[in-house]
Amino acid sequence: MPIPPEPLLPLGLRLRNRRVVVVGAGPVALRRVGALLAALARVTVVSPAAVTALEDLAARGRIEWYERPYESGDLRDAWLAMACTADAGVNAQVLADAEEARIFCLRADDATQASAWMPATGRTGRATVSVHADRDPQTAAALRDAALAAVEAALRQDSALRSRRRPRPTSPAAGPGASPGPGPEERPGSHPAGPGRVTLVGGGPGDPGLLTLKGFQALADADVVVVDRLAPLAVLDGLREGVEIIDVSKIPHGRFTPQEEINDVLVSHARKGRVVVRLKGGDSFVFGRGLEEVIACTEAGVAVDVVPGVSSAIAAPELAGIPLTHRGISQGFTVVSGHVPPDDPRSSLDWAALARSGTTLVILMGVENLGAIARAMTKAGLDPVTPLVCVMDGGLPSQRVLRSSLATVAGSGPPAGLRSPAVMVIGAVAAFASG
């Protein structure tokens, strides 16, 4: 006799500034944390070790990380808990503590025991569609797609509903379960062993809404997603069931994955017949070493495509109200890397020429060397009162705008609180900064 479906009360949780505890800090936790941050939750992660992207989020103050094993009491003041470790005993303890504290809890390794489940979710326009299918992720995803298609049809027919509409892929992916699921060779309908392919996707500055339609479509088809710390992490929670997430983040002066190793990961998975998406922040070819990955794939005989992304060099200033060009003020802009100071032998930039160019100067990767850059620009004759603005976490809920001037930074150093990632803008147009 078949087991009747579990009766559920579907709810939309408002998590802004509410504490959510995620126990575990591996790839499964990573995809959940990205979704929680997008919901503006106050996230605490408990784990002795973490994947690099989560470590980076903790270092940037976007999440709280208890760098130790789970302890009873860690769920205090939480509204929601997620047990995402690979240890069934730990997950069971988290669930038991949550039950005692009357906190709803998701359990990655055994949804049957959990008090809450993640549905298959998709969003278009002002509508969020969530589908539960009694713990059957394939059915839930298929029904979700059908529901989204119906919503799209309604949006096309009713112009009043089309305001604030966002495009979505034909078959968007949103895995309903917390478990990483079977590998691609084990999953029905997965790509057989043989020639795979790699797609480099520029993810934009961090807001998942700024990922392109083609980028969403590539992610919907992926077997493996190789992700950077500055990619839009919230989209990871929308991947279909069983997609493997590989974190190859590079933290300034911290943990990093060598570029050669990243190249090997892309090639080796593609050679196993897998569809690999390399998800980067911004655009893959703007200080993203994307061409190196294309060359590595091409030399290995692996098919590779590139999906351009919205570059943070343009997006971050714009989101802060700064037009890089403006009639009567700036007829152009120059984007440069500030990862080495102007007097460093490794620098190939003519900073004096940049000071005389009359264009807006956009500096990426220049937090540490901003003072030296400002001094070089003033020495070369750029007006000391020229506005200088730093945009941190552009496109994210944590975005901050720090205003200063060339003379102030040259004399006193970067603005207080400046940290990476940040985009710096020097020029008259920076005076338009807002927020």
- Residue 431 or 239, more confident: 431
| CATH number corresponding to 313-432 | 3.30.950.10
> Is the model's pLDDT at 263 over the cut of 80?
yes
Q: Do 183-310 and 313-432 have matching folds? A: no
Give the pLDDT confidence score for residue 182 in this predicted structure: 37
> Is the model's pLDDT at 356 over the cut of 50?
yes
Angle, helix 290-299 to helix 259-271, in steps of 10 degrees: 40
pLDDT digits (tens, 9 = 90+) for 233-255: 999 988 877 899 999 998 877 88
d(C-alpha 176, C-alpha 250), whole Å: 29
**Helices within 364-424 (DSSP H only):** 370-379, 406-412
Contact 120/176 with Cβ under 8 angstroms?
A: yes
Catalytic one among 110, 214, 221, 250?
Answer: 250
Active site residue 228: yes
pLDDT confidence bin for 187, thresholds 50/70/90: very low
> Is the model's pLDDT at 377 over the cut of 60?
yes
> Is the model's pLDDT at 191 over the cut of 50?
no
Residue type for position 73:
G
What is the third-level CATH fold of 183-310?
A: Cobalt-precorrin-4 Transmethylase; domain 1 (3.40.1010)
Mapping DSSP onto H, E and C, the string for 177-188 reads CCCCCCCCCCCC
- Whole-model pTM: value is 0.76
**Domain ranges for the chain:** 19-113, 121-176, 183-310, 313-432
pLDDT confidence bin for 122, thresholds 50/70/90: confident
Instruction: Give the mean pLDDT of the chain.
Output: 87
Give the pLDDT confidence score for residue 195 in this predicted structure: 73
Give the pLDDT confidence score for residue 194 in this predicted structure: 56
> Is the model's pLDDT at 341 over the cut of 70?
yes
Which of 66-75, 131-140, 272-281, 390-399 is least confident? Answer: 131-140
Which of 187-196, 337-346, 356-365, 424-433 is least confident? Answer: 187-196
User: Can you identify the CATH homologous superfamily of domain 19-113?
Assistant: NAD(P)-binding Rossmann-like Domain (3.40.50.720)
> Is the model's pLDDT at 41 over the cut of 50?
yes
Contact 21/101 with Cβ under 8 angstroms?
A: no
> 231, 245, 237, 342: which is closest to 290 by C-alpha?
231
Which of 46-55, 159-168, 289-298 is least confident? Answer: 159-168
Q: Strands 360-364 and 422-426: what pairing? A: antiparallel
Give the percent of the chain with pLDDT over 90: 72
DSSP codes, 270-287 = HHTT-EEEEEESB-TTSS
Residue 189 CA: distances (Å) to CA of 20, 138, 242: 35, 11, 12
Count Cβ neighbours within 10 Å for each residue of 5-31 and write b for 16 or more, e otherwise.
eeeeeeeeeebeebbbbbbbbbbbbbb
> 225, 228, 252: which is closest to 312 by C-alpha?
228
Catalytic one among 223, 228, 237, 393?
Answer: 228
